[in-house]
Amino acid sequence: MDRAFLDELRRIVGDEGVLNEPLDLLTYECDALPHLRASPAAVVLPDSAAQIQAIVKLCAREGVPFVPRGHGTGLSGGALPVPGGVVIALSRLNRVLHVDIPNQRVTVEPGVTNLEITRQVSPFGYYYAPDPSSQQVCSIGGNVAENSGGAHCLKYGFTVHHVLGVEAILPGGEVVHIGGTLVDTPGPDLLGLLVGSEGTLAVVTKITVRILRRPETVQTLLAAFDTIDAGGAAVSDIIGAGIIPAAVEMMDALAIRAAEAAVHPNFPAADTILIVELDGPAAEVTALFDTVVDTCRRHGATTIEVAQSDEQRARIWRGRKAAFAAMGRVSPNYYVQDGVVPRTRLPEVLNRIRQLEQRSGLRIGNVFHAGDGNLHPLICYDERVPGEPEKAVEVAAEILSYCIDAGGSLTGEHGIGADKSAYMPTMFSADDLALMQRVRAAFDPRGLCNPGKVFPTPRLCGEVPGPHRAHPLETAGVAERW
Amino acid sequence: MSQELNKVPDTPEEMADALRRASEQNLSVLIRGAGTKIDWGRPPQRIDTILSTRGLRRILAHQHGDLTATIEAGASLREVNLALALHKQWLPLDPSFAADATIGGILATNDSGPLRHRHGTPRDLVIGTQVATADGLLAKSGGQVVKNVAGYDLSKLLAGSFGSLAAIVSATFKLSPLPATSKTLIVTARDAPGLARLVRDVMASHLEPIAFEAEVPASSLLLRFASARPAVEAQADAAQQLLGAGRLVAGDEERELWQQHNERIWSGEGAVVRSSWLPSDIATVAEDLESLSAMGGIRHVELVGRAAIGTGLIRIDGDPTSQSRAIDRLRRSASMGNVVLLRGSSDLKALVDVWGSHGDREPVFASLKRAFDPKGILNAGRGPL
């Protein structure tokens, strides 16, 4: 990268705000999908929207690609740098700008963590609903880019349902205000487009979210079943009875064993466990919870445990949330997949996965959001065994094809990023993608803003979606995967 | 007046073909559903072709086990909800003119009603769409599953586009179970500050109504609870205790109450604007509206809106010049924002900037319009872009 460009970056953010030494750049080579790596020419650490605007304007003038980055917890390579480009790290924009309890709105900078919003408002009895498992460390800016969900999105929706407005810098360097503290900005819903666009349309510099009143009551149940079909049938009947639980999670035997080995949640040794959580007004939860318990019994639940305290509930969730990282206890390596099927097709798709498991010889653990059909198969392998890593990649890709066959999606919450862009044509036609490209070009005609993400480009030789490797944050015990 | 040609395509391909041909011939196209909101927006410029969605009115799929349905644009919400009710489900939307409004029109206008308090607007419920573009492309985005982050969510972009980006062919929505029963509490405050106190108390409580409406200047609040029977009883009692008064209605009386509430703004001939405010500013909003009604040439002003969201419809009865001055004043008031004139006489629409300023979004809208509709054939200049 030419010196004059670096000097200009330094003029904008100060000397300490520009990193270009190879060692300093290492941290930014990847996000939480460490097998996709690239070294940027420089990382800039602005601490204001004005600085971001100046950086983007400079990049636009010089034709230098730039990649916005939150806290690097993404699981699809959405923050993968472009060689020769700039990474705009938003970690210094971490101020909470306005907390408005009476109107249930909070305005923050993009580097504020998801959980920090809840921390700010919980003394008043409020919380921010989307709860990705990385919520302790992931940034709200990253949540906006990825349209993050979490365990409770079955009832409460995704980031897109909770963001009221953003201030953003367009790829040409112009500031734009979309939505705000008031609802119903006239015209097409730009906010709905921007949330989930994976940082390819703009760099968000300010975000207003709505917060929710903490529900009056929460009830959590853990039920064990002899077969995954029995558990699945119970879920169908719960939802068929007109109940929308706050969360419905399932784990299979391998995932249960792994979680038990890692965090000892005292899960029953079963083929399948189901976690159902209801929240809301006390009378409603009480009335509906009985139906949930009866339904589980009717479908042959071998044990039913109802959390009697916050600690008991926390223990159940700890077991569920640790399931990914816990795979390390039962397998030297594993690959986390994220796919979606219509909920009613779960049994059929899980059967196909079981057949694939037998055929491939690789063990596959299943942890999933059963309420919305979001699967997270965990494919176990040993990288020391020749051919196994490649086989794991093939198995993961095959599972995605089952999701598409069943009318589902390539990703429910991790995003397409750089990781799955090559699969986009399996879900979308050339015309579908062409229209999305037109939108992309309307914002960023020169393709400078986070290029190489979402849209399929011919992959480089040997660049394939790869296996899971522990992120440094996970190894350090700071973050867990969902 | 040009010779308008009506076309009623029966298949998505016919819809796309009609648009492609219009594009080739530079014909201006208006996309029309039931026409319930055809008078919203700017007065149309030249219209060569009216492209009706009414040939496309099937429910393509109701995956009741998945709580989703894929519906063609021309189907009416009422017909759709009758069909969904067979499986005790519904698409929980109650836009203006809900008896006739079509799925495509509701999504294109992103219109909603009191149920927005719980269920959001069409953009919150849509999970996928198929559109026909001005140059004849049939393209989909989103999908059939509720949880999905693959690709751009163009469905959301259609919400509020008023048919100026593309023709909606079909849309997939997330559904809800039909609540077992419901009850509504009506409370009337003594004055605007009293109304504001009630709004604040409800928002800070654990009450979870599915609708929470304010009527001004009546200073009335409507809270509707819908769920399992014991839950509805408990919530209604708790609400009555919290607010210290009010009348509970159920059954036919409740249905009638809501029908009247939803229709009241559209009664009469007045101009109707949509406007937003911060929920805690409701007292100031009420005072501002009172001062509008005191303006010369204005006979009456009233508001019906979502108390905890801060948005609603305002009807301004009066002559066009006075209505235009009143709208101007609303736009300058500190308590209101996003003021859009929906219904108004052509005299009024000649005096008022219907959509208001798009501020720094204007260039984005312009490039999106070029991307979707490079020849500018769609919507005859009625929409926001």
For residue B287, give the CATH number of its domain: 3.30.70.60
Same domain? A374 vs A277: yes
- What Å distances lie between residue B68 and A140, A240, B247, CA to CA? 29, 13, 36
Q: What pLDDT is stored for residue A458 in this prediction? A: 54
Reduced to 3 states, what is the DSSP secondary structure of residue B316? strand
> Where are the extended beta strands (E) located within B218-269?
220-227, 247-249
Same domain? B35 vs B128: yes
In whole angstroms, give the CA distance from residue B315 to residue A305.
55
In whole angstroms, give the CA distance from residue A45 to residue A27.
13
Residue carrying the six token digits 């349309």: A201
Max CA pair span of chain B: 66
Interface check B366 vs A, CB under 8 A: no
Q: Are A32 and A139 in contact (CB under 8 A)?
A: no
Whether A429 is covered by a domain: the verdict is no
Residues of chain B positioned with their CB less than 8 A from the CB of A176: 360-361, 364
Query: Residue A139 pLDDT > 80, yes or no?
Result: yes
Q: Look at residues B230, B264, B298 and tell me which one is the last residue of a structural domain.
A: B264
Q: Give the tens place of pLDDT for each residue, A167-212.
A: 999 999 999 999 999 999 999 999 999 999 999 999 999 999 999 9
Chain A interface disruption, residue of B112, B149, B276, most A CBs within 10 A: B149
> Where are the extended beta strands (E) located within B110-189?
126-132, 138-142, 167-174, 176-177, 181-188
Same domain? A126 vs A73: no
Query: Residue A162 pLDDT > 80, yes or no?
Result: yes
List the domain range (segments joined by +) for residue B307.
Answer: 271-354
Q: Are B67 and B89 in contact (CB under 8 A)?
A: yes
Q: Which residues pair with A165 in a beta bridge?
A: A179, A208
Bigger pLDDT: B268 vs B105: B105
Q: Look at residues B236, B264, B292 and tell me which one is the last residue of a structural domain.
A: B264
CB interface of A with B, residues 416-475, below 8 Å? 416, 420, 424, 427-429, 431-436, 438-443, 454
Number of other CB atoms surrounding residue B79 within 10 Å = 14
Query: For residue A321, what pLDDT band results from cuts at 50, 70 and 90?
Result: confident
Q: What pLDDT is stored for residue A465 in this prediction? A: 42
Contact flag B358-A186 (C-beta cutoff 8 Å)? yes
Same domain? B337 vs B367: no
Chain B interface disruption, residue of A76, A182, A291, A421, most B CBs within 10 A: A182
Residue A85's CATH number: 3.30.43.10
Interface check B371 vs A, CB under 8 A: yes
The alpha carbon of residue B237 is apart from the nearest alpha carbon of chain A, in Å, by 11
Same domain? B151 vs B235: no
Interface check A249 vs B, CB under 8 A: no
Same domain? A157 vs A196: yes
Number of other CB atoms surrounding residue A475 within 10 Å = 12
Whether A258 is covered by a domain: the verdict is yes
Residue A401's CATH number: 3.40.462.10
Same domain? B112 vs B223: no
Interface check B363 vs A, CB under 8 A: yes
Same domain? A33 vs A106: no
Residues of chain A positioned with their CB less than 8 A from the CB of B274: 184
Interface check A373 vs B, CB under 8 A: yes
Residue B216's CATH number: 3.30.70.920
Same domain? A72 vs A145: no
Q: Give the tens place of pLDDT for each residue, B196-215.
A: 999 999 999 999 999 999 99
Whether A388 is covered by a domain: the verdict is yes
Q: Are A396 and A365 in contact (CB under 8 A)?
A: no
Contact flag B124-A157 (C-beta cutoff 8 Å)? yes
Whether A453 is covered by a domain: the verdict is no
Residue B347, phi then psi, degrees to nearest 5: -60, -45
Q: Give the tens place of pLDDT for each residue, A40-90.
A: 999 999 999 999 999 999 999 999 999 999 999 999 999 999 999 999 999
Same domain? A342 vs A381: yes
Crossing angle between the packed helical segments B282-293 and B192-204, to the nearest 10 degrees: 150
Interface check A213 vs B, CB under 8 A: yes
Residue A252's identity, in one-letter code, is D
Same domain? B143 vs B211: no
Same domain? A161 vs A242: no
Contact flag B145-A408 (C-beta cutoff 8 Å)? yes
In whole angstroms, give the CA distance from residue B258 to residue B122.
20
Nearest CA in chain B to A456: B151
Same domain? B243 vs B349: no
Whether A105 is covered by a domain: the verdict is yes
Same domain? B141 vs B247: no
Name which of A151, A337, A198, A429 is nearest B149 in CA terms.
A198
The alpha carbon of residue A455 is apart from the nearest alpha carbon of chain B, in Å, by 8
Q: Look at residues A46, A65, A92 and tell me which one is the last residue of a structural domain.
A: A92
Share of chain B above pLDDT 70, in %: 99
Same domain? B128 vs B201: no
Interface check A248 vs B, CB under 8 A: no
Contact flag A193-B153 (C-beta cutoff 8 Å)? yes
The alpha carbon of residue A214 is apart from the nearest alpha carbon of chain B, in Å, by 8
Same domain? B119 vs B234: no
Residue A374, phi then psi, degrees to nearest 5: -90, 110
- Supply the pTM of this predicted model: 0.95
For residue B217, cis peptide bond before it (omega within 30 degrees of 0): yes
Q: What pLDDT is stored for residue A468 in this prediction? A: 47
The total of structural domains in chain A comes to 3
Query: Residue A34 pLDDT > 90, yes or no?
Result: no
Q: Look at residues A60, A92, A124 and tell me which one is the last residue of a structural domain.
A: A92
Same domain? B89 vs B119: yes
Crossing angle between the packed helical segments A282-298 and A228-240, to the nearest 10 degrees: 140
The total of structural domains in chain B comes to 3
Whether A44 is covered by a domain: the verdict is yes
When CB atoms are compared, the residue of B204, B276, B372 closest to A183 is B276
DSSP annotation of B378: B
Name which of A104, A67, A69 is nearest A83 in CA terms.
A67
The alpha carbon of residue A423 is apart from the nearest alpha carbon of chain B, in Å, by 10
CA triple A49-A455-A397, angle to 5 deg: 120
Tokens of A29: 């080579």
List the domain range (segments joined by +) for residue A229.
Answer: 217-405
Whether A243 is covered by a domain: the verdict is yes
Same domain? A64 vs A135: no
The alpha carbon of residue A395 is apart from the nearest alpha carbon of chain B, in Å, by 20
Same domain? B170 vs B85: yes
Chain B interface disruption, residue of A98, A181, A183, A455, most B CBs within 10 A: A183
In whole angstroms, give the CA distance from residue B353 to residue B42.
8
The sheet carrying B59-63 orders its strands as B59-63, B68-72, B167-174, B126-132, B138-142
In whole angstroms, give the CA distance from residue A250 to residue A235.
10
Q: Give the tens place of pLDDT for each residue, A236-279.
A: 899 988 999 999 999 999 999 999 999 999 999 899 999 999 99
- What Å distances lie between residue A438 and A447, B131, B170, B259, CA to CA? 11, 14, 21, 43
Contact flag A189-B157 (C-beta cutoff 8 Å)? yes
Same domain? B46 vs B114: yes
Reported ipTM: 0.97
Name which of A75, A14, A5 is nearest A40 in CA terms.
A5
Same domain? A142 vs A68: no
Residues of chain A positioned with their CB less than 8 A from the CB of B234: 281-284
Q: Look at residues A377, A405, A433 and tell me which one is the last residue of a structural domain.
A: A405
Contact flag A183-B310 (C-beta cutoff 8 Å)? yes
Nearest CA in chain B to A341: B145
Residues of chain B positioned with their CB less than 8 A from the CB of A408: 143-145, 148
